[in-house]
Amino acid sequence: MTDAALPHATVTTGASTRRDFGLKRRHAAEFRFRLYGIVAIIIGLGFLAILLVSIVGKGYTAFVQTAITVPVEFSASIIDKDNERATNPRVLVSANYPIIARNAVAKALGVSTDDKAAMREIAKFVSDGSRSMLRDIVVADPSVIGTTRNVTLLAAADIDSANKGQIDLTVPQDKRKVSDLQVGWLEQLKQEGAISTPFNWGLITFGASSRPETAGLGVALVGSLYMMAIVLLCALPIGVAASIYLEEFAKKNRFTDFIEVNINNLAAVPSIVFGLLGLAVFINFFGMPRSAPIVGGLVLTLMTLPTIIIATRAALRSVPPSIRSAALGIGASKMQMVFDHVLPLATPGILTGTIIGLARALGETAPLLLIGMVAFVADRPTTPLDPATALPVQIYMWANEAERAFVERTSGAIIVLLLFLALMNLAAILLRRRFERRW
């Protein structure tokens, strides 16, 4: 009897005669596909690791700052030589504090204050930020005049870099920013325990400054915070309301199709175009102030709206129609159906979309350049109408600076920005969890 005559028998009699389903080929294809996937993930993770290592490696030093603790003599003859502070408090503000700082350091180093050359070196050793620091001490408590106190002064940016080992000391003295004399002093003060590297609060509190050691993200942080608040307050209600209307109430016709196409197109418009729009509409037409977070926030609102609308509509569409039927079937009005049943189920999706939109807005730079938020702002804004900058803009400005100390600050600022983005994503995950558990 042949195999052809008994096909079923061949299937069941032993392994040697089993039919060929191409299993080997299929398994190989599956194995290859999984391999491609794993390779793709490894490449992605690798680049992420390189990015993080490079940024953190360059930037972590920005979070500490070299400081010099020396006894400072608040000499009355320098601060208030005519002894008129009782009648004219202005003298305490305008006194020559840098000299006090220099004298204090010179004394600690054992350098004579008459040595003009050495004093010039000392002037470059201590940060000019000690001016406002000492002034604040004296203005807050004038009774310190005439006494001597231990004060922690900021070191100048180049000394800070040298202390962090970022300056190559093997190159000849005239080709680097710190002199051998200063390096010697640094070592001497280290021996005496006067040099410390505390956490650099200035990085997140100071405003703009041309001196790296007194430049910080304070203004940018406040500006970004105001803008995020404005985006959240404006874009979320408008976006969700628009989506609910389009998805649940509007009749499907040409006009709503046209609106839908335009919303999708708006999501793809380059952000700099929104900047131009903001400049033309908010600043030129409505006369709002330049460089203000309110304008930045409104521009970013316009930019974020399409993202929120698209995410919200997708979230609403993913609510099963049976829930809508159930609500309508027991006599709920359309509005009750939406707000009691559909919207709560769509909330996790809406929140995710909103936070993704906000995160995109937080990292946006181009439109802010056009409305004047790239500016030298030294004082923290008190209201959204005051001039401010934003985190990514501050990074952009610092990246253009030449000093070595600004390089680490740029990376430090990027770390701060990434931290904020990570926090926002965490918030998105937590909110999702919370709302999903409720339902």
The contact set with another protein (CB under 8 A) reads 251-252, 320, 322-333, 336, 340-341, 345, 439
The nearest distance, CB 275 to another protein, in angstroms, is 40
Measured distance CA(371)–CA(5) in Å, rounded: 85
Measured from the CB atom, the residue of 289 and 344 that comes closer to another protein is 344
The nearest distance, CB 259 to another protein, in angstroms, is 17
Residue with tokens 């009691």: 340
The nearest distance, CB 431 to another protein, in angstroms, is 18
Tokens at 29, concatenated = 């294809």
Residue with tokens 């999903």: 436
Measured from the CB atom, the residue of 151 and 319 that comes closer to another protein is 319
Measured from the CB atom, the residue of 173 and 336 that comes closer to another protein is 336
Measured from the CB atom, the residue of 106 and 338 that comes closer to another protein is 338
Measured from the CB atom, the residue of 63 and 435 that comes closer to another protein is 435
Measured from the CB atom, the residue of 175 and 251 that comes closer to another protein is 251
Tokens at 187, concatenated = 């070592």
The nearest distance, CB 327 to another protein, in angstroms, is 8
Measured from the CB atom, the residue of 150 and 325 that comes closer to another protein is 325
Give me the phi and psi of 199, to 5 degrees please. -60, 135
Measured from the CB atom, the residue of 31 and 339 that comes closer to another protein is 339
Measured distance CA(321)–CA(342) in Å, rounded: 9
CA distances from 84 to 95, 136, 311, 326, 420 (A): 12, 19, 67, 84, 49
The nearest distance, CB 39 to another protein, in angstroms, is 41
The nearest distance, CB 308 to another protein, in angstroms, is 24
Measured distance CA(182)–CA(199) in Å, rounded: 23
The nearest distance, CB 325 to another protein, in angstroms, is 6
The nearest distance, CB 245 to another protein, in angstroms, is 16
Measured from the CB atom, the residue of 8 and 251 that comes closer to another protein is 251
Q: Which residues contact 256 (CB under 8 A, 6 or more apart)?
A: 246, 250
Measured from the CB atom, the residue of 202 and 344 that comes closer to another protein is 344
The nearest distance, CB 240 to another protein, in angstroms, is 20
The nearest distance, CB 341 to another protein, in angstroms, is 6
The nearest distance, CB 315 to another protein, in angstroms, is 15
Measured from the CB atom, the residue of 3 and 340 that comes closer to another protein is 340
**C-alpha closest to that of 129 among 51, 214, 256:** 214
The residue type at 258: F
